[in-house]
Chain A
C-alpha cells in the first residue's frame, strides 16, 4: 500500500513501483525533471517529474486535454520545453532535435509513409542512420517477423488493415533499437475486439523485449490497467497520482484518481474524533478511522494522505457492496474479527445489467450506487435495504 505518490511532487518525490526486483538501481532511461510547456499563453504542462526505467511500462493516463500527449511529444522532441530538463539514457537532450533522440514513436494514425512499401517503412530509420544494406535488411526481417508481418513486406500501407498497419508502425519504431518506445494512443483507432487482441500482443512484445522502456499514452483506463507496470495520472498539466494499477485502484490517493478508476462512490463523511472511537492501527499495519454519515458509523481505511479530522470523502466502489445479513444474525464484533460496515437506506431504483444489477440507494445525505450479483434478491424501490462492505474496501480521502 505504500507505492502511491501524491499530488505535490515538491513535498514528496514520486514513489516508484519497479517492474522487477532490484531494477531500481539502474539509471532511468528517461528522466524528466521540472518540465513546463506552454502553447502561447496557455500553460499545458507544469513541473512534471517522471522517470522511466529499463524494462518498465509506464502508462500516461488522462482525459483529453490533460497534457499526456504533450508530455510524450516533449519527450520525443516535438514540443519545446519551457523549463526543466529531459535526460535520455544519461544524456541531457532537452534542446536536441527529434532526430537526435533515438526514441521509437508510434502514433494513433500510425503515420506510415504512404509512398513506401512495408519494408521501406521499417528500413527508414536505419537508412537515415546510414546502416549498411545487409544490416538494414536483416533488421527489417527480424522486426517484421517479431510483429508477425513478415509476409507483407512488399505491400503498401494502404493495402493493410488497421491492425496490420499498427504492427508495421511498431516494427518501424523498434527497428532503430530505441532506448525507449513511445506509444501515443496506439490502440485508439482500432475497434474493441482488435484492441483487446493488440493489448495481448503488446504484452507479449514486452516479454520478448524485456530491456526496453515503454511510455504509453492512453485515455482508456482498462488499457492502462492491462498494460502498465506503473500508471501516471495526469490532469490539467500536472501529475495527480502515480503508482501500480493495483495501488491506484485499491488505495487512490485523492478523489480525482478514485473517480478515474471504476465506479467509485464518494460519500461525504465526518471523521469521528478520538473521544468517541479512536483511530487505531491493526496488526497488518493498516490504519483505520471511524467516520459518520447520515447518523451511521463506519470504519474506513486511511492512507498517508487521508485527512485526520473534519469533513472527508469516503471512497467505496460500487462492487464492494453486499446485501447485509438479517440484523439479528450479525453480532457486533462477534464474527471472528471480520468486522463489516453496514449502511441502511431506501432503494430508489434497480436496473438489471446482465451479470450484475445496479441499485441506487438513498441515504438522505447522499445517494450510493451499488452493483450486486445478478442472483441476489433485492428489495423493490421504496423499501429499506441494508448493505455491507469491508472496511478495507473503503478509503478515506480529502475533500477537493
Chain B
C-alpha cells in the first residue's frame, strides 16, 4: 500500500533514474570485476570457456586440504563462540558483574578493530616468546597453541562479540513479566532459563552463529599473521595462488568456491534475520 501512495511527480522510471549513479559506480568497482573474475575462472587455456581451472584445483591436494582446514577451524571457532557468547550474554543480563557495562562497550569496540591485531597480541600470549609458552615450556609444551588452536583462539576472541550483540538485543526485548509468571508458577531459575529464556534466544543465536561461521570462513588477517603452515584456509589459498604463484585462473576458481560457500551461509543468515524481524 505504501508504495502506491508514493509521490506521483515524475514517472517511476524517472525515480529509478536517480539510482543510476551509485549503482553504476558500485557496478564498476565491484560487480564488473567480480563478473570478470568469474569469467576468468571459466576460461580455458585455448581462449575458449571450460572447467579446466576447476578440474585442476579439484585434483590438487592443496584445495581439498584447505577446504577441510577451513571447515575445521571455522566450525570449532563458531562452536566455542556460541557457547562463550551465550554464557556472557546471560551473565551480562542476569548476573551483572562489576564492569559489565564496560565489557559491553569493549565488545562493541571489538567489532571495529582489525582482526589481525588479535593475532599480533596473541603472538605474545601464546607465541614462542609469549608468557603461556614460558608457563608451559616446563611441561614440555612447545608452542602447540601457535597452530590450529592458536588460530581458533584468536578467532574466538575476535568473533564472540558478533554472537553476544544479537543475544543481548534479544534478551533486552524479553518480556520480564513472562519470566515472573514462570517463577510464580513454580519454575526454578534453571527451568525458567531452559524453557523460556533459551527459546527466546534461539533465533538470535542462530543468526549470530551463522554470521560467525560466515566471517570465520572468510577470515584472512589472523591466519596470515599467525603464519600457520599446515592450516591453509581457502582465503589463504587464494592469496597464495594469486600473489605467490601468479595463477590467476586457479585463484579465481578457488575464489568462486569460497564465494559460493560464503553466499550460501549468508542466505542462511538472512533467513534467520528475517525470522527475527517478524
In the complex, A touching B (Cβ < 8 A): yes
Q: Could you tell me if A97 and B7 are in contact, using CB atoms closer than 8 angstroms?
A: yes
Chain A binding surface, main DSSP class: loop
Is there a chain B Cβ closer than 8 Å to A80's Cβ?
Answer: yes
B12 to chain A, nearest CB (A): 12
B9 touches A79 (CB 8 A): no
A78 at the interface (CB under 8 A from B): yes
A 134-171 binary contact with B (CB < 8 Å = 1; else 0): 00000000000000000000000000000000000000
C-beta contact mask, A58-100 vs B, less than 8 Å → 1, else 0?
A: 0000000000000001000011100000000000000101100
**In the complex the two chains form, is A39's CB within 8 Å of B7's CB?**
no
Chain A residues positioned under 8 Å from B5 (CB to CB): 39, 73, 78-79
B4 beta carbon closer than 8 Å to chain A: yes
A337 at the interface (CB under 8 A from B): no
**Minimum CB distance partner of A41 in chain B:** B4
The B interface is mostly helix, strand or loop, or mixed, namely loop
A97 contacts B9, CB within 8 Å? yes
Q: Could you tell me if B7 and A40 are in contact, using CB atoms closer than 8 angstroms?
A: no
Distance of A224 Cα from B5 Cα, bound (Å): 27
Whole-angstrom CA separation of A79 from B7 in the bound complex: 7
Determine whether the beta carbon of A78 is less than 8 Å from that of B7.
yes
Does B8 make an interface contact (CB < 8 A)? Answer: yes
Q: In A85-131, which residues have CB < 8 Å from any B CB?
A: 95, 97-98
CA distance A49 to B55 in the complex (A): 73
Residues of B within 8 A of A79 (CB): 5
- Chain A: which residue is nearest B1 at the CB level? A39
On chain B, the residues within 8 Å of A97 by CB distance are 7, 9
Residue of A nearest to B4 (CB): A39
Contacting residues, chain A, for B8 (C-beta < 8 A): 80, 95
Residues of chain B contacted by A98 (CB below 8 angstroms): 7
| CB proximity of A160 to chain B, nearest CB, Å | 29
Tell me the nearest residue of chain A to B10, going by C-beta.
A97
In the complex, what residues of A have CB within 8 A of residue B9's CB?
97
Q: Which residues of chain B from 1 to 53 have any CB-CB distance to chain A below 8 Å in the complex?
A: 1, 4-5, 7-9
Residues of A contacting B4 with CB < 8 Å?
Answer: 38-40
Contact residues, B206-230 vs A (CB, 8 A): none
Within 8 A of A (CB), among B71-101: none
Convert B227-252 into 0s and 1s, putting 1 for each residue whose CB lies closer than 8 angstroms to a CB of A.
00000000000000000000000000
Among A38, A79, A95, A98, find the residue whose CB has the most chain B CB atoms closer than 10 A.
Answer: A79
How distant is the Cα of A295 from the Cα of B1 in the complex, in angstroms?
52
Kindly list chain A residues whose C-beta atoms are within 8 Å of the C-beta of B1: 39-40
Identify which of residues 18-68 in chain A touch chain B, using a CB-to-CB cut-off of 8 Å.
38-40
Closest to A96 in B: B9
Quick one: closest A residue to B3, CB to CB? Answer: A40
Contact residues in B for A78 (Cβ distance below 8 Å)? 5, 7
Q: Which residues from B are CB-within-8-Å of A80? A: 8
A10 to chain B, nearest CB (A): 27
CB distance from B246 to the nearest CB of A (A): 54
In angstroms, Cα B11 to Cα A95, docked, is: 12
- List A280-317 residues whose CB lies under 8 Å from chain B: none
Instruction: Collect the chain B residues with CB atoms within 8 Å of residue A38's CB.
Output: 4
Residue of B nearest to A99 (CB): B9
**Scoring B residues 138 to 182 as 1 if CB is less than 8 Å from chain A, else 0, what string do you get?**
000000000000000000000000000000000000000000000
Bound complex: CA of A95 vs CA of B8, how far in Å?
Answer: 8
Q: List 15 A-B contacts (CB under 8 A).
A: A38-B4, A39-B1, A39-B4, A39-B5, A40-B1, A40-B4, A73-B5, A78-B5, A78-B7, A79-B5, A80-B8, A95-B8, A97-B7, A97-B9, A98-B7
What 8 new A-B contacts, CB under 8 Å, besides A78-B5, A78-B7? A39-B1, A39-B4, A39-B5, A40-B4, A73-B5, A79-B5, A95-B8, A98-B7
Interfacial residues, chain A to chain B (CB-CB below 8 A): 38-40, 73, 78-80, 95, 97-98
Which B residues fall within an 8 A CB radius of A? 1, 4-5, 7-9
Q: List 10 A-B pairs, minimum CB-CB distance, nearest first.
A: A80-B8, A39-B4, A97-B9, A39-B1, A40-B4, A79-B5, A78-B5, A39-B5, A97-B7, A40-B1
